[in-house]
Structure 1
Amino acid sequence: MKGEYFMDNFVILQQMFAIDRAQNRAELRSSIQTLLRIIGSYTKSERVYIFDKDESTGDFCNSYEWCAENVKPFIEDLQSVHPNDMPYWLNAFERGDSVIIDDVNDVKDIMPSEYRLLTLQNIHSEISFPIFYKNELRGFIGVDNPHINESESFLTLLGVVGGHLGNVRESLRMTELLEQRNRSLEKSLMDIERDQKFLSILSTDYISVYCVDLNLDTIEPLKLDSTANAAKISDLKAGNAKCYSALIKSYYDNYVIKSASPNFLEQLGIEHLKSHISINGRLSFRYQVTPNSVGQEYFEAEVFPFDFGSDSKVLIGFKNIDDLISYEQNSRRQLQEALDEATLNNEIISAISKIYFSIYRIDLALDMYEEVSSDNEVHRLTGRMGRASAKMKELCHRFVVPEYQDKILQFFDLSTIPERLHTEETIAMDYLSNDGNWHSARFIVQKRDSSGNVTSILYATRLISEQKRREQSWMLLAEEANRANEAKSEFLSKIAHDIRTPMNAVMGFADIAKNCPDNSPKVCDALKKLTTSGKYIEQLVSNILNITSLEDGRQKLNPVETSVSGISSTLSHIFAQELMNDELNITFSCHDILYEYVMADGLKLKQIYSNLLSNSIKFTPAGGDITFDLYEERIDNSNNIRLVARISDTGIGIKPEFQADMFSKFTRETDTRINNVRGSGLGLAIVKELVDLMKGDIEVNSSVGKGTSITITVEVPFIIKDDLWTGDRDYATDITSVCSGMHLLVAEDNELNYEVISELLGMNGISCERAEDGAICVDKFKAAAPGTYNGILMDLQMPVMDGIAASCAIRELDHPDAKQIPIIAITANAFAKDIERCRLAGMNEHLSKPLNIRRLISILSKFK
């Protein structure tokens, strides 16, 4: 055994030498991973890992891990450990000591934080030792559940390993940093050489180039052509010129045309250059001089910053622009001539365009058009050109209302123009434009060939009489009114039918019950059917009011903090009894909930889902299956999530031809399979309107005889709340222990609700006492000795006195606890206005039903 021990130590040392020889991070990582495997094999441990210290946060991050066979890795689940979670270990590591734990239960009291971490990971024994570099803690190595006898020499070797790893990794980091700096230096040298080549190429455009230090008022010639006037200045020619201001003054006095460039000295003066370059980055200035030796007289001075870290040094280049000036002068002359001609043409066209607001010249042989004038003054005489036949189609589709487009396309057919204008000089047709105005489109002959065939035409459009437009508008309004009356009549007819049918049942079964008072079974049956018909009428009226309020815009979204799983739970309770009566199987599944709370109109979401579930129940035979699936999808780089609900059934399905109209009002499929199923045809229309209000999507998949699946998707903002899994590590122990022993007064008129609250509080060590309404709550608090109650849970809707009035009354009492006792609203009223009413009444917090006991205990802990 001793020889085996020395052999293992030798293998560890040998691997440390391999780590020394690592040339890059990949080799180093591989060598370190091998070292962990050797340590793990020697110690017969389950896991060996390295946690490195993050210098920016102070956390220790899991960077390496080796696991024995059949041992689950932790590196993905436990990414980092905060120093506050390992205070005992941290003190030991900073002293250079290792941590050896033979049995984790022995250290429960001396290192409680570390004990919690170890037991959570099923670690029974542990060896951990620090990683140092120059007396600075850089991390630590841990060995989970080792199976060896402790050896002082082995522990000493592990300490050496920690120090050695710190030195090797730091040395490699410094080496890589040095190599990186060398590469950066080499790139900078290459950039300098490249910039010098670019400068040499660019300077070919300049007759002279100078480097000027504006602070020192010095100038250094970098390039000076012998033909330049500046070359004649004796000091510059001899290379003795040093003063920039003096040189510019001499050049101005001797060569610059003063009348053409009076501001030469001001533009190139030191102060102006400094201020201009600092704001604009460069300066360009043109001037005229007496012709030089080769006859050049127009130049442009361009000034650039030379040292971008300072506004002191600049490069000034002078280049000849005689050709450019000549070109610009010719262009200005031609432009002026064209402008004069265009002005004359524009006057003529402007006069014509008072009648024709759009004019095009069309060459029929070439199928080309040129825009002469349009209704936009910016486009007058633009000469826009293109393919004429394509342009006519574009004008038709852009301006003509759909009902006139077919006729106008025939009128705009340029291939038939020569025939239609063979004996005519002009043809026209009227049409209604998309803006509601009537236009008259006209083709006018411009040119004919020797045979009299039209070769060139004008197309013009003008606004025709206001009277005709009004007449046509009134006709359209009359037609729309007729259609509206027809729709209203159809609506009333369907409503009358849908109300008369159940009303007939109501009146009939009422008569049956009245005429058979002694026949209890028949009376009960009649009353049951009467109740069913009444509920149908109630649902029909509710649906009509809903669809009406949606159409006239009275329905508004009211986003509040909403529990996603709470929606599924509520629906499950609502439909449990109905499904039991119909002998249907239903599954409510709420999964992949990334964020439990969202900002959404929970009531309207439940209304959407309820309508779809009701439809599935109606059209699924007994023994069928219905599934409600609710989950969330992440949206990258967004504060929203997609809330997806899928309602599936094994019902009769929907025919493909009906699926396109299934969300229309008062629309029901004509099918013998559903003749015995009552419905107003409004439920799906309400679903569509509400989903559109939420800017959501509906997807329908259905097969006749197999069933239907409808998917509703809406985007809603999510809310991040603290809980046991998001950082509230001590919730289970600290908050529960703080709240244990509290005694609460619970104002709740519903006995079942109070029983639920009482049971949940009792499970967390909290006792409570019931007040059946708000008035009893006030009386009990008023009569109680100070300190009797640690808080009040207040329902809002109660008989005698509601929760708002009761809270106001308690706050106004002359009782030692009246002003500071916490009052927490526990209510189904979760609208924003309800929350505000609670705050104004003096309540401290607001919780919506169903009650979240974790959230309640968290709130209570703040008032302990």
Structure 2
Amino acid sequence: MKKQTKMRRFVKKRILTVVAALLLSASVLIGGFVFMDFMDRTIYDESTAHLTEIYHQANQTLYNKVSFNWGIMRMWAPYLESAQSDADVYSFLAQAKEEYQFTDFFFVSRDGSYIALDGERGYLDLGRTLSQLVLEQQPIVANSVVPDKPEIMVFAVPTEKGSYNGFDYEAIAITYNNKDLVDSLKISAFEGHGSTFAVLPDGRVVLDSSSVDMSGVHNILAMLKNSAGFTAEQITALQNAFAAGKTGNLEFSINGTGYYMVYGSASFQNWTILGIAPKAIVNANMNRLQYTTMAVITGIVGILAVTILLLVVQNNRQQLRKKDQQLLAREELFSNLSRNVDDVFLMIDTETGKVEYVSPNVHRILGVSPEAVQTDFHVLCSAGDDNCASRLEKLMQMEQGVQQEWDRDFIHQETGEPRYIHVIGFINDVQGAKKCIVDLSDRTGEHQTTLAVEAALEIAEKASKAKTDFLSNMSHDIRTPMNAIIGITTLMKNELHQPEKLAEHLGKLETSGQLLLGIINDILDMSRIESGKTTLNVEKMNLPHQISQLDSVIRQQAGQRRQTFTVATHVQHENVLGDSNRLKQVLMNILSNAVKYTPNGGHIRLEIDELTHTEHYTKYRFVVQDNGIGMSEEFQKHIFEPFERERTSTVSKVQGTGLGMAITKSIVDLMGGSISVESATGKGTRFEVVLEFPIDTEADTAQKTQALPEEEETTSPLSGMKFLCAEDNAINAEILEMLLEANGASCTICANGQEIVDAFAAVKPGDYDIILMDVQMPVMDGLEATRRIRSGENPLGKTIPILAMTANAFLEDMQKSREAGMDEHLSKPVDIRALEQTVKRFRVTPPPKINNGIARFRR
């Protein structure tokens, strides 16, 4: 009976022991599962937070790049709208392209068409963002493709409606190769396995900075659905999150490999920036901690099987070890993070002044080793200014809760590169001890961007001021002769019966017209020079003949002011090869200024000396000396700059554009010569120009044989001529008709190109001797009319001389006239003497004395 009772107790005890063991095991297992779940969630939260911080920096870098490009284009827009010419726009944008290194600049129209700086036109496929740019007036960034070029990223901002090279635009855009933006998304963490994408709400990849793991992905949502097994509901939810600009994270697996993905809005348009990295690499440190913890738990379970006491002791030890490992893991994680950011962190004990922690990136950012900083943190002051030491000492004395921050320029101690550092310091309590936390944030890139923006703004302000000064000067200088022309015209209406006054008024009217024409010519000359279109027309030139022509003009001007003008010439080779018009323009500008700035009764002297010569070349020195008002030493430094005039009461009374000497200097440079000036206020001015010309040996030899004097013409070469003229302006047509009739010629006027083509179709030999053709006309322009006359059925169209008479005076205009079939190009206003000289070149026989004869010409 006792044995049975004892047996029952034993069995009961064993059952209780087994039950207790089972309960204990169950409790341990449940606790283990709960712990493992906790660790998994902790690892997930820590890892995704880590990912989010790293990819946020890539997102911010991309946003800064986009914002910067939009910002500089907004600053360009006002200048483009107010630019004086397409050449100014081209020069400005070419300089900007060189400075900011974008691939192309486009002016974009409402329908997406574009024109580049070089005039190339095309279509820019901006998709749905085009309406956002043009209709909603919002800046955009979008992928696009231009034929024969790699895929590009387009940054565009809306502008006021404008025109470039005849192309109407409503927006401007710059482009980069996609690689430029992809580089801004690259991250150096995760051993090269991290991938960064910029995607649209439907998952399409806009920018791809992927690793080998994620290469070839074109749609993130499609990849998650097809490769990661996401359901349609999950894909829809993720697509809605992208569209709403939400921030989030998730994990997925592809072919047994787990990945973390974090995403967030790019803060512009509807882009989402997302990052993907393998779980195994992101969780490497945490996984080691997890495996260690599992080993510890296994040991605890084994020890519990032996004795509760050992379990408690072992458990306490493992708990302490666990805390130490967590601290080490966090410190390692923080160190890894700090290596990849541009912030140096220090923790200093306020009592001992010992640096207890310094992030290892201090060597990369400031060129100082972590060991040197831990030895004495004042070593940082060698990279800063004199106030650095006192600033750091004040940080150590701050109260908890107080924060100080300032900006300082530092010098990298190894490379010598300047760094712009933002310093933040505060006091924190760590386990009862006061610690000074210092953050040295490298803001060099942001600072350089700010300086670049300020420089661009300064350039824009200077351009605006230059435009304002130019318009002010031109308004004054153009209105002055215009006022004289209008005023004299009014006086002439009231004095029609006083011939002597009419003659006086006509002289003044001609002078004012020539002054106005000179101003316009100066502006056009400067425009051609700045655009690089000025060329030299090298031909045979007789130097004494050129000086004689100058003498006749300047002597008349000097005589009107009772000035003495002398010319001294000492040359051996009189015949050279050069641009006679440009040489006369240089000397005329200098001599005219001498006349204008020399008081009545003064002296002006032109001296030409042949300095040296070789078998084929000779060098001349042209000196213009006057005893006029002179110039200050300061103004002489700027005399050859456009629109510069000395600001004195005497000079301000003399009309001029301020372009003459700038044009003169440009022409002398083009001719390979030099120009210098010596002057003193009140003592006169001396200009010296040195030029070298090829010797015209043939003309020099021929000059030894004296030619018979030419018979002086007693009648105008235009006498008896019959002109067929195209002129759409009624007043200009009337003036042309009266000028020709005054010189014994007759003319028929057509109002446009079509009329003159129709009129010439019925022309017979002897009807007309020459055609004067305007260029810009309604219905049909003069170029097209000339082509039709030359190619028409009337055989006279192949031989009759056609002269362009137009206000288009540029070299390219003359080339277009000749390409269309015209024989010569004459600029308006009509110069009857120039017309006579031109007509003489085409005549073979002298004009008949009666009007019914036919003069013969050659082309």
Per the normalisation by structure 2, the TM-score is 0.33
Per the normalisation by structure 1, the TM-score is 0.33
Structure with greater contact order relative to length (CA < 8 Å, sep ≥ 6): 2
